[in-house]
Amino acid sequence: SQQGEEDPQALSIQEGENATMNCSYKTSINNLQWYRQNSGRGLVHLILIRSNEREKHSGRLRVTLDTSKKSSSLLITASRAADTASYFCATDATGAQKLVFGQGTRLTINP
Amino acid sequence: DVKVTQSSRYLVKRTGEKVFLECVQDMDHENMFWYRQDPGLGLRLIYFSYDVKMKEKGDIPEGYSVSREKKERFSLILESASTNQTSMYLCASSFTGLAYNSPLHFGNGTRLTVT
C-alpha cells in the first residue's frame, strides 16, 4: 500500500493565487520529500524536510511537517503558469532503504 | 548539475521480445533506481542498486531483471515483454548513503509500448 497520499488529486487556481497540497502517510519516517513533474518528463526534487523539522522554505515554496498527524503540506505562493505540473510527496518507512511516492496532485494554473 | 540520461524517450516492442532500458548518470552516485509510472497507481519501485553488481528487489520486480556492471550505468531488462508492461519507466540516482536521505535525480523517462 502507498506510504504517502496526496490531497487533493487535482487543483485548479488562477495565476497569482496560492496553492496548497497535502500529503498524509502511515508509518513513522526519517524525512519527507516533495517533487514536481512536468507533463511527460521526469520528476524534479523540490524540498527535503527531516522528521525533526517543522517548516522549510525554498523561494516561493513552503513545506510544513506535522509528525503527530503524519502529514505534510506544500504551499506555492504567488503561483505562475509555469507551476502547472504534478506534485508528489515521497517518504521512507523506518528501516526501509527506499522512497515510496504518493499518486500526486495535478496542479493547473490558469492565466 | 546531475544528469541522468535514459537511452530512449519512446520505445515500441512486440510481446515476447527481450527489452533493454538503459540509464546512465554522470555524478558518481552510488544509488540507482528503476520506477514505473502508471495512471492511478503513481510511481512504483521495480529494482534498485546501492553499488556495482548489487541489486535489491523493489515492490514489483516480477517480469524484470537489472544489471549494474559499472557504477554509472543501470539497465532494466524485460525478459519477455508483455502488454501489461506498457508504461512510463523512470530511472533515478542518488548520492551515497541511505537511499532516502538524499534527493533522487530522475531521467526524463522512457515511454514503452508493448503491442
Res. B1: pLDDT tops 90:
no
- The per-residue pLDDT for A95 is 61
- The per-residue pLDDT for B57 is 93
- The per-residue pLDDT for A36 is 97
- The per-residue pLDDT for A1 is 43
* CA torsion through residues A57, A86, B73, B53, sign: positive
Q: What is the pLDDT of residues B9-46, one digit of tens each?
A: 999 999 999 999 999 999 899 999 999 999 888 899 99
- The per-residue pLDDT for A94 is 59
Strand partners, B111: B10, B88
Query: CB–CB of A63/A1 below 8 Å?
Result: no
Contact A103 B4 (CB under 8 A): no
Q: A96: how many CB neighbours lie within 10 A of its CB?
A: 16
**Cα angle for residues B36, B57, A70 (degrees, 5° grid):** 70
Provide the pLDDT confidence category of residue A88 given band limits of 50, 70 and 90. Answer: very high
- The per-residue pLDDT for B101 is 73
Taking contacts as CB-CB distances below 8 angstroms, the residues of chain A near B100 are 30-31, 91-92, 96-99
Place of cell 497540497: A21
Q: What is the pLDDT of residues B49-108, one digit of tens each?
A: 988 989 999 989 999 999 999 999 999 999 999 999 999 999 999 986 665 678 899 999
- The per-residue pLDDT for A45 is 95
- The per-residue pLDDT for A4 is 72
Q: What does the alpha-carbon distance between residue B6 and residue B21 come to, in Å, rounded to a whole number? A: 7
> What distance in Å separates residue A89's CA from the closest CA in chain B?
11
- The per-residue pLDDT for B97 is 62
Res. A98: pLDDT tops 90:
no
Counted across chains A and B, CB pairs separated by less than 8 A come out at 63
Question: Which of B7, B43, B47 is the best mutation test for A, with the most CBs of A within 10 A?
Answer: B43
- The per-residue pLDDT for A7 is 87
Q: What does the alpha-carbon distance between residue B24 and residue B7 come to, in Å, rounded to a whole number? A: 8
Provide the pLDDT confidence category of residue A3 given band limits of 50, 70 and 90. Answer: low
Contact B99 A41 (CB under 8 A): no
